[in-house]
């Protein structure tokens, strides 16, 4: 009889402990509830910092808050109830960047005399990028303790494009004082000095990529442990398929070449072929096939911290 009473008391005590474990000392619920919102950040820098601190390395930099994956996409959740949530994945990015450099003025044939400054002109590179990704999903959860498992599916589409334009201070010319493409007449921005299809030294005027359209569907599974009220540490793995197609691009260059009546300045336009990719695999192996802007959609098993509010 005593053994039975002790067994019942032990079971009740363990049950009570688990029940109490789902609230803080202040009575705050540990787990997500209906109408909660959530957002995740990468926890790798935090744990790297803690690990380095314990073994005394001087490389223990302060932890930072980073994205949950490599595609810089915001992932948020809205809980319908404590076991079900809708997911939203959003990336809307437009960037415009200009870089300028000075180069010697090719029209000035008389060198500057010290201490006068040499005459210069300005070259300019302008870059524009568009990255748009939108996705929706649904998540289901299991577990009655701080350890919660979850699974579900996401559907995503993405659009990307980019273009680069160059303006040069020195105009190419032929005649008495010819100006051709060289390091002394054209600034090197890293990819603007090329060889045209006729074998002449050339400089890029414009480069435009074709529009890239992508579509992806993935299933995911993961687990979280709530270390504090509404704050969980976990990991997520995914598997799915992705397809993306890129249209034709175009590049225009200018150079000095041999025309029918001698040397002439000309513009050569070249079409860049499009491409397509398809893949079915886990997130970490999708590489450039599956995800926004061609990057991994899932967290590639990185640890993450999820904040509920």
Same domain, 66 and 129: yes
Same domain, 92 and 181: yes
Which pairs with CB-CB distance under 8 Å and at least 24 residues apart come from 257-262? 257/196, 257/198, 257/200, 262/174
Contacts of residue 42, defined as CB under 8 A and 6 or more positions apart, other chains included, come to 65, 66, 67, 68, 69, 299, 302, 303, 304, 305
Same domain, 130 and 4: no
pLDDT for 3 beyond 50? no
Residue 39: alpha-carbon gap to chain centroid: 17
Question: At 62, is the pLDDT very low, low, confident or very high (cuts 50, 70, 90)?
Answer: very low
Same domain, 59 and 19: no
pLDDT for 108 beyond 50? yes
Q: Is residue 208 exposed (0-12), middle (13-18) or buried (19+ Cβ within 10 Å)?
A: middle
Which H/E stretch holds residue 15? helix 2-21
Share of the chain above pLDDT 90, in %: 52
Tokens linked to 127: 């870059």
Same domain, 93 and 55: yes
Same domain, 14 and 152: no
Same domain, 124 and 50: yes
Question: At 58, is the pLDDT very low, low, confident or very high (cuts 50, 70, 90)?
Answer: low
Same domain, 9 and 84: no
- C-alpha 292/C-alpha 70 separation (Å) is 9
| Region 49-56 average pLDDT | 59
Tokens linked to 34: 């209906």
Contacts of residue 7, defined as CB under 8 A and 6 or more positions apart, other chains included, come to none
Range of the domain at 7: 1-27
Tokens linked to 58: 């001087």
Contacts of residue 50, defined as CB under 8 A and 6 or more positions apart, other chains included, come to none
Give me the DSSP letters along 96-155.
EEEEEEEEE-TT--SPPPTTSPPPEEEEEEEEEEEEEEEEEEEEEEE-SSSEEEEEEEEE
Question: At 119, is the pLDDT very low, low, confident or very high (cuts 50, 70, 90)?
Answer: very high
- C-alpha 90/C-alpha 135 separation (Å) is 6
Same domain, 264 and 207: yes
User: Nearest-5° angle of CA 258, CA 262, CA 267?
Assistant: 45
Strands 275-282 and 231-246: antiparallel
State the pLDDT at residue 288. 40
Domain count, the chain: 2
Question: At 278, is the pLDDT very low, low, confident or very high (cuts 50, 70, 90)?
Answer: confident
Q: What is the 3-state secondary structure (H, E, C) of 188-223?
A: CCCCCEEECCCCCEEEEEEEECCCEEEEEEEEEEEE
The length of the chain, given as a count of residues: 309
Q: Is residue 109 exposed (0-12), middle (13-18) or buried (19+ Cβ within 10 Å)?
A: exposed
Question: Across the chain, what does the average pLDDT equal?
Answer: 81
Same domain, 15 and 129: no
Same domain, 218 and 242: yes
State the pLDDT at residue 300. 45
Same domain, 17 and 111: no
């Amino acid at each position: 009889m005593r053994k039975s009473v002790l067994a019942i008391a032990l079971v009740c005590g363990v049950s009570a402990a688990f029940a109490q474990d789902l609230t803080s000392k202040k009575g705050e619920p540990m787990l997500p509830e209906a109408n909660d919102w959530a957002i995740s950040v990468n926890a790798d820098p935090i744990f790297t910092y803690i690990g380095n601190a314990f073994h005394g390395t001087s490389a223990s930099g302060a932890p930072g808050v980073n994205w949950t994956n490599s595609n810089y996409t915001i992932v948020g959740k809205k809980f319908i109830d404590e076991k079900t949530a809708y997911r939203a994945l959003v990336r809307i990015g437009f960037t415009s960047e200009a870089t300028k450099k000075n180069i010697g003025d090719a029209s000035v044939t008389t060198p500057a005399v010290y201490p006068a400054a040499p005459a210069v002109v300005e070259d300019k590179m302008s870059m524009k990028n568009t990255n748009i990704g939108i996705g929706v999903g649904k998540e289901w959860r299991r577990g009655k303790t701080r350890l919660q498992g979850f699974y579900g599916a996401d559907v995503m589409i993405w659009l990307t494009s980019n273009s680069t334009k160059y303006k040069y201070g020195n105009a190419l010319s032929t005649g008495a004082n010819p100006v051709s493409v060289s390091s002394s007449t054209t600034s090197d921005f890293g990819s603007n000095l090329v060889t045209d299809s006729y074998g002449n030294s050339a400089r890029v005027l414009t480069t435009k990529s074709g529009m890239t359209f992508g579509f992806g569907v993935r299933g995911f599974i993961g687990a979280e442990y709530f270390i504090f009220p509404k704050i969980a540490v976990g990991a997520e793995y995914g598997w799915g398929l992705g397809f993306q197609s890129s249209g034709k691009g175009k590049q225009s260059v200018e150079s000095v070449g041999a025309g029918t009546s001698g040397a002439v300045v000309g513009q050569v336009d070249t079409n860049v072929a499009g491409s397509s990719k398809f893949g079915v695999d886990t997130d970490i192996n999708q590489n450039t096939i599956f995800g926004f802007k061609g990057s991994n959609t899932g967290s590639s098993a990185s640890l993450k911290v999820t904040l509920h509010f």
